[in-house]
Every structure is written in C-alpha cells, then in structure tokens.
Amino acid sequence: MTSQLPGPAGSPAAAVRLTGRTALVTGGGSGIGRACALALAEAGALVHVVDLDAESAKDTATAAGGIAHAVDLADRTALGGLPRDIDILVNCAGLQHVAPIEEFAPERFELIQQVMVTAPFLLIQRCLPHMYAQGWGRLVHISSMHGLRASAYKSAYVTAKHGLEGLSKVAALEGAPHGVTSNCVNPGYVRTPLVEGQIAAQAEAHGIAPEAVVGEVLLDRSAIKRLIEPEEVAAAVLWLCGPHTGFVTGTSLPLDGGWGAN
C-alpha cells in the first residue's frame, strides 16, 4: 500500500483523501487508466488494476501499491474473478478502430461494445450491492467528447461512448437514494498510446508530419492546441470522488480545450 500521508502541496491528492476506500480501475495498465490508478492510490485508496496486458497491470499495481488483474473484459466469465467490495469503480478500458461503416467488420464493432459498454454494465452490477449497503459509492466512466459528438469513420467507438453515457445516467438515477454517484469524464484527445497510434496512422494517410496531425486534424476545433495529459483526466476523476462532489451525479464533464464551444 502506498503512503497515507497527504500528497504534495498543490497535487489533487492533497485535497481528496480516500484512506480506507477500495477502487477498481479498468484499462489501468497504461494511459488514462494508469494515471487514475496512481492518483487514487496517492489519495490513500487500495487500487485493483485491471488490464488485458498482464505485465502492464502488474507494473501499475506495483507503482500504486495495489493488486493486478489480467482480464479480458470481453470475456464475461473472466469478470467473475474480480472483487465485489469496491467503493470506487473507474471504467476506463477502451479500444479504437477506424473505418467507413460499409467496411467496418461486424465482429470488431461487437468487440468494442463488449469492452466499452457491456463490461462497464457488468462491473457496475457487480459493485452496486456493496456500495448500496454502505451508503456510499463512486462510479466514474472515462467517456470522451465522442460520447457527446460524432466523428466519421468511428462508428463503433462513438456508439460505445454514447451507450456509456446513457448507462451512467441510469446508474446515477438508481444510485442517488443510496449515496452512489455516477458521472462521465469527457476528454478530447489525450496523450495516450491509443491516440499516438491514431496520430501515426493519420500522418501516413495524409502524408503530413505527426505534429501537423495534432494541430491541423485532431485539434482543428479545439481552442487549446495541445493534447491533454492523462494526469489531467485523473485529477478530474479524483475530484469526482472527493468530499465536495456528492451532489454531482448524472453529468458529463468535458475536458475538451474548448472543442465543444466551437
């Protein structure tokens, strides 16, 4: 377990203490999920790190003083080995596939729904009895601006994120009498392996430099012309688990650099 001492002055963990709480983060091996796991651990929570990649899960769990679980979220039976006594659930795991609808492989579409909608539903269902019994719980879902808007060629991802938004709202309504909140965090383009892969693919497709992809393609409608850092998303997740957000539920929190305003 990590140190229970307050985080450095100015860090998000300095304002949010989660000592005694247990969290589960999917997709915790890298990117946003890893940043969330580390932030929750710094705030004092015991973190279960779930990832498809066993080494990545172990690496994050070691850094967070938590417990690693190598799990394929598309396999319903595999979810049965995860703990139920979870106070904070962060649904972060995701994958992307870019193709026109008429060329989109149906099995790929189904896989993305399984990982990004069905698995969150099953994990919520698994954790709610414990949360209800204690009268406190936090469900935080890493959605996307694509949960609020659409982009061409991302039919499966956009569909899944919109589905996650609806699931979060229903969980918020049902959880409210029991002290359980449910919210989505909606970042724009974050500096993650998934986005780095998109940048490389777009650079090759358009015959331009990766830097140009970021400024001219991905961030075309964003007022702030930089990628979001995973730690910035994790700070928002941590805030939603803190002492002053018990009345925040059923919301979608954009971290979009002004994309939605344009």
User: Could you tell me which residues come within 8 angstroms of residue 196 by beta carbon, excluding any fewer than 6 positions away?
Assistant: none
pLDDT at 121: 98
Q: Is 68 helix (H, G, I), strand (E, B) or coil?
A: strand
* Strand partners for 51: 70
Give the separation between CA 137 and CA 23, rounded to whole angstroms.
10
Tokens of 257: 């650099």
DSSP letter (8 states) at residue 214: I
pLDDT at 6: 43
CA distances from 218 to 21, 37, 76, 212 (A): 37, 27, 34, 9
pLDDT at 78: 96
Q: Which helix H or strand E contains 144, and what residues bound it?
A: none
CATH, domain 19-188+229-253, list 3.30.465.10, 3.40.30.10, 3.30.70.270, 3.40.50.720: 3.40.50.720
Looking at 132, 153, 157, 189, which residue is catalytic? 157
- pLDDT averaged over 10-residue windows placed end to end, the chain, 262 residues: 46 82 98 98 98 98 98 97 98 95 98 98 98 98 95 96 98 98 95 80 80 78 89 98 96 93 86
Q: How far out from the chain centre does Cα 7 lie?
A: 22
Q: Is 189 a catalytic residue?
A: no
Chain length of the chain = 262
Give the separation between CA 254 and CA 120, rounded to whole angstroms.
20
The answer to whether residues 205 and 161 touch, using CB atoms and an 8 Å cutoff, is no
Tokens of 134: 């204690």
DSSP letter (8 states) at residue 76: H
pLDDT at 3: 39
Q: Strand ranges (DSSP E) for the chain? A: 22-26, 46-51, 67-70, 88-91, 137-142, 180-187, 252-255
